[in-house]
Structure 1
Amino acid sequence: MSSANSKTSDFGNEAVKEYYKFLLIRYYKNWYWFAISLAVCTAVAYLYLRYTQPTYSVQSSVLIKDEQAGSAKENILQELDMFSPKKVVENEMEILKSRALTEKVVDELGFDVSYMVEGRLRDQEIFIDNALRIYVVKANDIAFQKPFEILINKNQVVLEGVSYPYGKVVKTPYGLLQFQKRSANIAHPNITVKINHKDDVVNDLVTSLKISQPRRFSSILVLTQETTLPEKGVAYLNRLVHFYDLASLEDKNKVASNTLRFVDDRLKIIAKELTNVEQNIETYKTSSGIVDLSAESTVFLEKVKDSDTQLNQVAIQLGALQELEKYVQSKPTKGSIVPATIGLEDPTLLGLIKQAVELELQREKIIKTLPETSSAVETIDNQLRITKANISDNATSLKKALLNAQRKFQSSNAKLEAFIRSVPTKERKLLDISRQQSIKGGLYTYLLQKREETALSYASTVSDLRVVDPPKANSTPVRPIRRLVFFITLTLGLLIPTFFIWLTDFFNSKIARKGQIEEITKVPIIGEVVQANVSSPLEVSATSRSVLSEQIRALRTNIQFLNTDNESSQTILVTSSISGEGKSFISLNLAASLAITDRKVILLELDLRKPKLHKYLNISTAKGVSNYLANQATLDEIVLPVEGYPNLYFIPCGPTPPNPSELFSTERMKRLFNDLKESFDFIIADTPPIGLVSDALILAKYSNMTLYIIRHMYTQKAYLKNIATHYSEKRFNNMGLLINGIIPKKDYEYNYGYGGDYGYGYSYTSEYGYSEDKVTKSKKPWYTKITNLW
């Protein structure tokens, strides 16, 4: 059992090997299709590389600084993997790709207008060498539909025959435009202008910008943009980083700018009040003739000055707390007003305010990339709510303390005012005016000091961005890649003909090679006949040496080897699946081949429905098999000799009967075969195709051997299953296959040297399926195959 399995496995492996060898030879014989395909693909690749605009990659790297880097809190959370700089960096990546920043770049650089000049192969876009800048004030629909040409002169531009000056908003057929001269050197006087929708340009720039993080915990970002104009890409990345830097500084300076605004407003008020007080002192002294106060009044003034200064500081702090309460009660929105902290010195409260401001700045950054309903925004809102509650508690405690201090200072002032009443009237009035001057002067000095401190903080703010590598374009394009294009060209050049050859074989429903027969049926193949050029249906003779004759002789030898009973007569039934497979032609030439070996052979034309043999032999069918079976003629009357073949006899079909199957089932059919066996060595019966009628199945019992004809590139593959069924069910005796009409050019089998090895050509195909032999003395040169293609 294992030996049988081993043999089956070896046979299967060998069949696979033979199949792949067949494929290789088939592809090799069609080498010219591969050459044509490679030539066409190479030409297409050349044209693609020649006329495709190359795309370059522009890269820049920036460092996003982390203000809290190195803090103990952050380090601990990093170890727990609960917080990492990557989350912050990802937000900055989205901000860099935001439409707001890109729109600023487009507006500044004028990317919504493209400038083209005529090149050798295609129009080329220019950027640096362009001497003209067009500002689109208001464009109409025509401006976006088609480009227009402009002629640049020294003092004006010409558009559709009309001259327009530089620097003015003018009305043109394409809308309101402003022409600005960028350079005195006009390198390209004739340019083509295309106005694009700003939204489309912004979308293209945002899509083409790629931002990557080289390492997981790194805060370095690599900005990459692919563009057909490297100078334009470099300018875009430069301005994008610039506007991102400005936006970052603006966010960081919100607290300082609000404080400066508050202090400036207060300084204006105090300066005006101080001027009025000084004028009052001057007026009073002049009218009253007072030069100086007593020493006691001087001491009194110093006390009043200190008390009033402290009371004013408390008032400033209470005012700051009032603004702080409004801030605490407000909801976080975009551009929220940051409270001024002037005068507040409580470190806890200042720390909470700073924390709240940082949370709001972080919230503004996040909502640029995420909706306000996202979990990240909700988390920050909760943190803000808690922080503001803490601020409110601290502010309430501080306000109580300040109110107590205010009452204390007011009580002290009341005592001082009682003392004032005891001072003479003139001195008391002067003292009041001087007191106001001292208070306003001290407050003005205090605000000036705070203003300088805030201005110093504002000026010392440093951006969180640092450019590591400025934008730079690669010298070689990233698309198209010449090596990749030619590799794809080579691949397609080989795959396209391979695919079409495979597709042709896949959809071919006819038998194309010997292996297909062996895969489906186990019927032995006892002969193979090549399609040749013949002048007569009876090709085999004693002197013929053609390929066809030799193959018929080989078939004759195989049949004689298969005949185990050499003493008795041999009856060979010849049939096929459908008409046109050459069974009549094979029957006639097989009979002639047997006859020239001094064997008596008789050929029966039993295809009563569509007879052909009598036409091949040019014999009348007045009497034949149908007459004999109908008991209208004797055997001697229907047996006819074949001219030129002494041992070959022929029985024609006779008149076509209406019931051939019934005639074949009579006793006279059995008697006919019995009588013929007594007089002839071989009986060749040409029967109808079994795919159409059952005549051959009825006659099968009278034969010793069945020769089943299959024609190359003609017989359908579906008939092989029927042949396998007939063989397995033993409906025919000693059944064997003959493959007829093999076309050498159709790659019937890789190891069969039809045509070339024998030196036979091919010219035309006759009605018999064969053509006349034309013997050549040598093979044709290799280049004639190429010549024939032309």
Structure 2
Amino acid sequence: MENNINKAHMDKINMRKEITKYLKKWPWFILCIIICGAAGYTYLRYTTPQYLAKTQIILKDDSSKNSESVIFKDLGIMSTAGTKSIENDLGILRSRRLMNEVVRSLNLYIQYYIEGEFNDIELYENVPFSIHVMGFDENLLKQNGGGRFEVWRSSNKIYKIKNLQTGRIKEEEPGNTIDLGFAQIIIRPRENNRDYEGKTIVQFSEINKIAANYRNKINFTQADENSLLIGIELTDPVKEKARDILDQLIMEFNRSAIEDKNLIAGNTFDFINERLAIINEELDSVETGKKIFKQQNQLTDIHAESQMFIQNASDYNKKRQEIGTQLELSNAMLEYISSNSDGNLLPSNLGLSEGGVNDQIDEYNSLILDRNRLLAGSSEKNPMVIKLNSQIDQIKANVVQSLNRARSNLLISQEDIQRQASSIGSKIYSVPTKELQYRGIERQQSIKETLYLFLLQKREENSLAMAITEPKAKIVDRAYFSDYPISPNSRSVYMGTFILGLFIPFSLIYITGLLDNKIRKRVDIESMASNIPLVGEIPKMKQKLKLIKSNDRSVLAEAFRILTTNLQYLLITKKNKNSGITFLVTSTIKGEGKTFTSINLSITLANTSKKVLLIGGDLRNSKLQPFVINKSQKLGLCDYLADDTLTLDCLIQKSSLNAHLDILLSGNYPPNPYELLKTEKMGVLIEYMQKDYDYIVIDTAPSLLVADTFLLTKFADIVLYIVKAGFTDKELLEFPQRAKEQEKFSKIAFILNHVSKAHLGYGNNYGYGYGEAKERSWSKGYKSTVFDI
């Protein structure tokens, strides 16, 4: 339980630290938000707005059983025009052919612009003149690479047309035909813009390209999968144009559906007229024969004795008439099918008693219409066309087979009726032959009259079907548009730029943190080298750092006071309390502030009235020469170790920094510094100095570069290992840790140097620079020496 609480507490602290890391960079966030906001404003200012136009329609289902469709089915004129599913209707609405018709009807291939400050502004309803196209050749337009003209009206009311590609200018009066090469046009001024003399750019484009552009922009929505309610949307910079395109699209769709319906009715009308002409001739022939027969045989009425037999035979005659009519229709249909090409529609609803044949004919006609629509925008090699051709051939074969089967059944029925009629005929055998012949003539006349009247009725019904032009799509809402643009959306743009303004600095800070391999704050050391204590943090100054002076209340002085205090806690376990304390100052590489730390640490200790000796232990690079009083004296440690005649009393010098601070310079550069430091004389020197001084501070060489430092660690009570913030790589912390594990450093502590104000302590949240004395231009006293770390 306690572990969970500690973990939650640590997570909270880590989260707070992460947030604080970004909050410290708040000026960057504000700057990026301002820049991104300005970019968003510029985008909104100069981007062409897009407007949305909408409309709604209901596609009528041909298979629906509403009252209107039932009435037409009873009349035998149930139309099979149009598609059988909502997907097919949507396919027609999306078709290239239909959109091409819309472009032609609205002259959308002619666009009008006026020059704007940054972009051309398209005109639609407020064009200052009208252009009537008398002839238009797309091929020539394509060869010319398009047609772009500048049109304006001069002071004498003459129109000037400048070809922007060639620079040629034509002048014509309003109403005259103008030859543009690919088109002949007539320009007339509009009533409300007769005096307008500004320049207008007229752009002629290919119809297919304009149609393809709007096809891609139109969006169709369906309430649900089975709904016939279709929403159509179109976005365009000119909202009035988008509205007109949607209205024209629905108009063209309805016109196409009506044309398909009238095409079937027209073919049926032609077929009925042909049959009526043939039946009329046959009926005239029968009536003429009847008249001649009656004249030759002087017949006026049927004998009474034949009435009874004829009455019995009348039922059979009626059946023979019905069968004869059906045979005539079947033969006529078979003859029509055999004499017409595969691409023609078949007459429907002629009254065939075989119901399956009528359904097959309806299906055949529907497939013919679907194939013709596909062929309007593709070729015979289209897989859908090939598939439809296969289905058409199969259904046609089924129709022929069904008609032949129906005709065979009718012939069988006719033979059966003949056999039954023979039994009646035997009873009227005594009836005179002339009477029988007369009845035969009347039967022929009745069959022809029945068929003739039937075809007349069908022709009227078909004419009625042609007269009724019911639209395929019922308009629920006419096209309308919003007065506010949908794109660009200012709210979305500003929200996006705001998020982008936050994301850019956030990502840069985050990526910089991931790629940063430098030690920057105490947490970096504590997390990577927790087995070595951190006893002090030396702040980074705004300018070059000054050395500490007496009664100094600066942040730098306070940092070294805290350092010396922390060192006291590490020295509690020191065995010999009477000898001086030895600090060895080193680092991993050069430039991390060893000498700077050694001098200021020595000054801080000396300010407590303790005797302090600062030894230049780096025999390869002497840096303490500027801080002694006698700068001409250059002998030091190296000379003492190499020359037995020299004594320490003549080598140790008073410093110019503090009266309690003495300095032993490193001396002249030796050829063998490692061998000198390895001698026993070095141990004797340290032991002797520990009796005379309270503190001994040894400024040594970088421990990673040379082995000199490891020879001196055995004399040190504490090894102060300098790490420079923003300079030392994190991976270099492995070196002092390995050295401690190998017992090369008996007692080691880190000092973090050059720490920025933001990273000092725990993020400078607890009174950075508390009690710091402000520098004044008239301050007197010790003139601090500037030292570059």
Q: Which residue of 2 aligns with 1:233?
A: 242
Task: Supply the distance in 2 between the matched residues of 1:762 and 1:395 (Cα, whole angstroms).
Answer: 123
- 1:150 maps to a residue whose letter is V
How far apart are 1:602 and its partner, in Å? 1.3
Q: What does residue 773 of structure 1 align with? A: none
Task: Name the aligned partner's letter for residue 550 of structure 2.
Answer: A
1:158 maps to which residue?
160
The Cα of 1:69 is off from its aligned counterpart by 3.0
Given that 2:161 and 2:171 are in contact with CA atoms closer than 8 Å, whether structure 1 keeps it comes out as: yes
User: 1:716 aligned to 2:729?
Assistant: yes
User: Residue 605 in 1 paired to residue 606 in 2?
Assistant: no
Residue 588 of structure 1 aligns to a residue whose secondary structure is helix
Pairing 1:149–2:161 present: no
Q: Distance in 2 between matches of 1:679 and 1:64?
A: 110
2:106 to 106, 109, 112: 109
The 1-side partners of 2:212 and 2:771 are apart by: 69
8 Å CA contact 2:628, 2:654 repeated in 1? no
2:600 corresponds, among 581, 589, 594, to: 589
Spell out the pairing of 1:466-505 with structure 2 (5 A cutoff): 466-505=474-513
Find out whether 1:553 has 2:561 as its counterpart.
yes
Q: How does 1:115-264 map to 2 (within 5 A)?
A: 115-119=112-116, 122-130=119-127, 131-133=129-131, 135=133, 136-138=136-138, 139-140=140-141, 144=145, 147-151=148-152, 157-160=159-162, 161-164=169-172, 170-172=178-180, 175-179=182-186, 181=188, 183-186=190-193, 190-264=199-273
Of residues 621, 632, 641 in structure 2, which corresponds to 1:629? 641
Alignment pair present for 1:638 and 2:645: no
Q: State the Cα distance separating 1:168 from its structure 2 match.
A: 7.2
CA distance in 2, matches of 1:736, 1:347: 106
CA RMSD of aligned residues (A): 4.9
Deviation at 1:379, TM superposition (A): 9.6
The answer to whether structure 1 residue 459 and structure 2 residue 461 are counterparts is no
Identify the range of structure 1 (484-493 vs 345-354) with the bigger mean alpha-carbon deviation: 345-354
Alpha-carbon contact 2:580-2:693 (below 8 Å) kept:
yes
> What is the CA-CA distance between 1:112 and the residue it aligns to?
1.7
What is residue 672 of structure 1 aligned with on the other side?
685
Aligned equivalent of 2:52, options 52, 57, 61: 57
* AA at the equivalent of 1:583: K
- Whether the aligned pair in 1 keeps the contact of 2:616 and 2:665 (CA below 8 Å) is yes
Structure 1 range deviating more: 441-450 or 600-609: 441-450
Distance 1:443 1:208, change over 3 A: same
**Deviation at 1:629?**
2.1
Match of 1:573 among 574, 584, 605: 584
Change (3 A) 1:640 1:533: farther
Are the counterparts in 1 of residues 122 and 238 from structure 2 also a CA contact under 8 Å? yes
Cα distance in structure 2, aligned partners of 1:698 and 1:654: 18
Per the alignment, residue 769 of structure 1 pairs with 788
* Paired AA for residue 490 in structure 1: F
Letter in 2 for 1:149: E
Task: Answer yes or no: is 1:655 the counterpart of 2:657.
Answer: no
Question: What is the aligned counterpart of 1:42 among 37, 40, 59?
Answer: 37
> Which string of whole-angstrom CA distances, capped at 9 and with x for unpartnered residues, describes residues 548-602 of structure 1?
2232222222223321233332110001122222211111121122223232221
Question: How far did 1:273 drift?
Answer: 10
Distance 1:197 1:767 in 2: 79
Tell me, what secondary structure is at the counterpart of 1:147? strand
Q: Cα 1:401–1:596, aligned 2, differ >3 Å: closer, same or farther?
A: closer
Whichever residue aligns with residue 208 of structure 2, its letter is D
8 Å CA contact 1:115–1:192 kept in 2: the answer is yes
Mapped contact 1:355–1:387 kept (Cα < 8 A): no
Q: Tell me what 2:313 maps to.
A: none
Displacement after TM superposition at 1:623 (Å): 2.1
TM-score between the two structures when normalised by the length of structure 1: 0.77
Q: Is the partner of 1:151 in helix, strand or coil?
A: strand
| Distance change (3 Å), C-alpha of 1:439 and 1:111 | same
Give the Cα–Cα distance (whole angstroms) in 2 for the partners of residues 469 and 294 of structure 1: 75
- Higher mean displacement: 613-622 or 196-205: 613-622
Matches within 5 A, 1:441-460: 447-460=455-468
Look up the SS of the partner of 2:730 in the other structure.
Answer: coil
Q: Distance in 1 between matches of 2:249 and 2:770?
A: 74
What amino acid does structure 1 have at the position aligned with 2:334?
Q
Flag the 1:620–1:510 CA change in 2: closer, same or farther, 3 A: farther
The two structures have a TM-score, normalised by structure 2, of 0.78
* Counterpart Cα distance in 2 of 1:615 and 1:469: 95
The range that moved more, 572-581 or 640-649, is 640-649
Q: Deviations over 1:687-724 (max 9, x none)?
A: 01123222222221111101111222222233233334
Change (3 A) 1:53 1:295: farther
- Higher mean alpha-carbon deviation, 195-204 vs 684-693, is at 195-204
- Deviation per CA, 1:162-206: give whole Å up to 9, x if none: 134677764326x33323648544376532112223332222111
| Equivalent residue runs for 1:284-683 within 5 Å | 293=295, 296=298, 317=329, 319-323=331-335, 325-326=337-338, 336-339=344-347, 342=350, 344-358=352-366, 360-361=368-369, 385=394, 388-389=397-398, 391-398=400-407, 401=410, 447-460=455-468, 462-522=470-530, 523-532=532-541, 539-564=547-572, 565=574, 566-617=577-628, 619-620=631-632, 622-632=634-644, 633-643=646-656, 645-683=658-696
Secondary structure in structure 1 of the residue aligned to 2:252: helix
- Whether 1:23 aligns to 2:21 is yes
CA separation of 1:336 and 1:148: change in aligned 2, threshold 3 A: same
**d(CA) in 1 for partners of 2:754 and 2:565?**
19
User: Structure 2: which amino acid aligns with 1:629?
Assistant: L
- Check conservation: 1:165, 1:179, Cα contact below 8 A: no
CA pair 156-314 structure 1, distance change in 2 beyond 3 A: farther
Corresponding residue number in structure 2 for 1:774: none
Contact 1:623 1:653 in 2 (8 A): yes
CA offset at residue 212 of structure 1?
1.0
Flag the 1:617–1:440 CA change in 2: closer, same or farther, 3 A: same
Note if contact 1:147-1:194 (Cα within 8 Å) is conserved in structure 2: yes
Task: Check whether the contact 1:254–1:338 (CA below 8 A) recurs between aligned residues.
Answer: no
Instruction: Map Cα deviations across residues 197-232 of structure 1 (whole Å, 9 max, x no partner).
Output: 333222211111111111232111111111111111
Corresponding residue number in structure 2 for 1:88: 85
Structure 2 counterpart of 1:455, which letter?
S
Looking at structure 2, the residues matched to 295 and 394 of structure 1 have their Cα atoms a distance apart, in angstroms, of 42
What are the superposed Cα offsets for residues 632-658 of structure 1, whole Å, 9 maximum, x if unpaired? 433333222324634322211111122
Contact 1:270 1:443 in 2 (8 A): yes
> How far 1:354 sits from its partner (Å)?
2.6
- Relative to structure 1, the CA distance from residue 310 to residue 146 in structure 2 (aligned partners, 3 Å threshold; closer, same or farther) is closer
Tell me how many residue pairs correspond in the alignment: 720
Q: What's the CA shift string for 1:353-404, capped at 9, x where partnerless?
A: 2343345556667899999887999699569736842651343432673699
Distance across 1 between alignment mates of 2:132 and 2:760: 69
Cα distance in 2, alignment partners of residues 450 and 100 from structure 1? 34
Say if 1:569 and 1:681, in contact at 8 Å, map to a contact too. yes
CA distance in 2, matches of 1:534, 1:103: 76
Q: Which residue of 2 aligns with 1:79?
A: none
Q: Is the 8 A contact 1:573 1:686 kept in 2?
A: yes
**Mapped partners of 1:471, 1:133: distance in 2:** 25
Alpha-carbon separation, structure 1, partners of 2:516 and 2:130: 66
Letter in 2 for 1:473: F
Q: Distance in 1 between matches of 2:396 and 2:381?
A: 19
Closer/same/farther in 2, CA of residues 679 and 397 from structure 1, 3 Å limit: same
Alpha-carbon distance in structure 1 between the residues aligned to 2:774 and 2:285: 130
Task: Give the match for residue 80 of structure 1.
Answer: none
